[in-house]
Amino acid sequence: MSDFDIGVMLHNADKFADDNKYIESAEIYSKITNLDNNCTAAWYGLGISRAKLGGIDESIRAFEQAHRINPDYGSTNANLAFLLEKRDPERAVNFARMAIESIGENVELLRIANLIEDEEINLFDYSHKYVDEKQEEIITLPSKTIPEENIQEEKIEVDEVDFVNSKTARSSRANKMMEKGDHAAAVNEWKELLKKDSSDISSWKGLADALSKAGYIERANQCLQRVKELTEIEKDSKEIDENEEMENLISAAKEVKEKIDLLEENTSRDVNESIEWYNKGLVLLSENNPSESLNCFDKALEDSPEEEIELRVRAHNGKGHALYQLDKFADSIQEYHSAIVLDPASVTGRTLYNMGSSYASIELYADAVKCFEQAKNRGLGKEDQRLCQTQISRCKLLIKEQKKLS
């Protein structure tokens, strides 16, 4: 049977797979492997189809054959890593690491490869140097005993198999087929790409090259003619766009100057108003009036320009303090987090302490410990550092109690 006939069979099998008819696709892929035991595309397709049908052992065997023929193909190695994670962890690690080298970093692959730990995925991991704050902040102390009730951990399930069929993956697969001399399989991959985007010049070039090396010179020339036509269309379109852009630039220049003048005037006014609202919020907060201070901090954020990062950070921290005093602990955490995201380098020990107090108040003791630990090294005085250590010890005891009850 010729390479072209095998290419037709691969096309038919892929079509069944795309229509979720995995019994039919598996049957055709299996026939191809009997005709050509070194057809990577067939073994890979068989692995996918068997997995979809629940035949995990058969799927693993098919992917292993695909790996034997082409050990550098990232998608094959990734699927083997996922499938073998519980059955053969040591081999899963090796396949995950090979997959990362080919298709780049992926959180699940990094985890399987033992290159990251769960503890390393930490939302509040600030390891950079502490930067002193220009203005004193309020340090919020817990106003009541931290509850000792148990909390339930939510488990996130991850799909066992991840199949990669993007443009990048298919292009890579086609090029690998060409390198191994499997021109018919490469033709099939390029055709699949052109089904999704018939105007993609690189796919037409790839198809022309594969057809030429497979011996279909006339068809290859037709593809090259299509490349020429698309290139001309792209060139003409670019010239039209450039002419229109030049015309628009002339009229836009005048509008830009007018807008800049107006923006500078409005920005100056907005910043001054935002500072007034922020200062008023601080005064109300010191007078134990968190509800009114919250409104002031909202006003400060509403009027403050996006580029005024320092002012916006302070306003978010102010909202966090006010919400804590109102016993809205989850909302206060969100505000502290918003401040940290805006400028991670400016995070202070006081902010982290307050965030830790909020976490502890909603029984998220592990997160509270992380905040208190990091707060100690960020400019706190000795008394506040001692307070942090007390809270750390307290939360760790509560974590142990939670584990006993779970």
Helix/strand number for the chain, H first, E second: 17, 0
Integer angstrom CA distances of residue 367 from 99, 137, 246: 33, 22, 55
pLDDT in tens, 135-160: 333 333 333 222 323 323 333 233 33
What pLDDT sits at residue 163? 38
Query: What whole-number distance in Å separates Cα of residue 257 and Cα of residue 240?
Result: 26
pLDDT digits (tens, 9 = 90+) for 315-350: 999 999 999 999 999 999 999 888 888 888 778 888
In DSSP notation, 184-249 reads HHHHHHHHHHHHH-TT-HHHHHHHHHHHHHTT-HHHHHHHHHHHHHHHHHHHHHHHHHHHHHHHHH
Q: How many CA atoms lie within 13 A of 18 on its CB side?
A: 10
Q: What is the DSSP letter of 119?
A: G
Rounded Cα gap, residues 384 and 387, in angstroms? 5
Distance in angstroms (rounded) separating the CA atoms of residues 170 and 188: 10
Coil, helix or strand at residue 398: helix
264-405 CATH fold: 1.25.40
Which pLDDT score is estimated for 1?
Answer: 56
Spell out the per-residue pLDDT of the chain, length 406, in tens.
Answer: 555 677 778 888 888 888 888 888 999 999 999 998 999 999 999 999 988 888 888 999 999 999 999 998 888 988 999 899 888 989 999 998 898 887 776 777 888 887 654 433 332 222 222 222 333 333 333 332 223 233 233 332 333 333 345 667 777 788 888 887 887 788 888 888 888 888 888 888 988 888 888 777 888 888 899 888 888 887 766 665 555 665 666 566 656 655 655 555 554 556 778 888 888 888 998 888 999 999 999 988 887 777 788 888 899 999 999 999 999 999 999 998 888 888 887 788 888 899 999 999 998 989 999 999 988 888 888 888 888 999 999 999 898 888 888 6
pLDDT at 120: 38
Q: Residue 22: its pLDDT value, please?
A: 86
Which positions ≥6 away from 225 have C-beta within 8 Å?
none
Least Cα distance to 161 among 101, 115, 112, 97 occurs for 112
Q: Which pLDDT does position 155 carry in this prediction?
A: 31
289: left (phi over 0), alpha (psi -120 to 50) or beta: beta
Largest CA distance in the chain: 88
Backbone angle region of 114, left / alpha / beta, with phi > 0 → left and psi within -120 to 50 → alpha: left
Distance CA 18, CA 351 (A): 52
> DSSP assignment of 317-338, as one string?
HHHHHHHHHTT-HHHHHHHHHH
Angle at 270 between CA 268 and CA 273, to 5 degrees: 110
CA angle in degrees (0–180, nearest 5) for 59-60-65: 100
pTM over 0.85: no
Q: How many CB atoms lie within 10 A of CB 275?
A: 17
Look at residue 101 in the predicted model and tell me its pLDDT.
83
What token pair was written down for 90? 């040591």
CA distance 207 to 204: 5
pLDDT digits (tens, 9 = 90+) for 220-233: 888 899 888 888 88
Would you kindly state where each structural domain of the chain is located, as residue ranges? 264-405
Do 35 and 43 meet the contact criterion of CB atoms below 8 Å apart? no
Estimate to the nearest angstrom the gap between the alpha carbon of 348 and the chain centroid. Answer: 27
Q: Report the distance separating Cα 45 and Cα 57, nearest Å.
A: 15
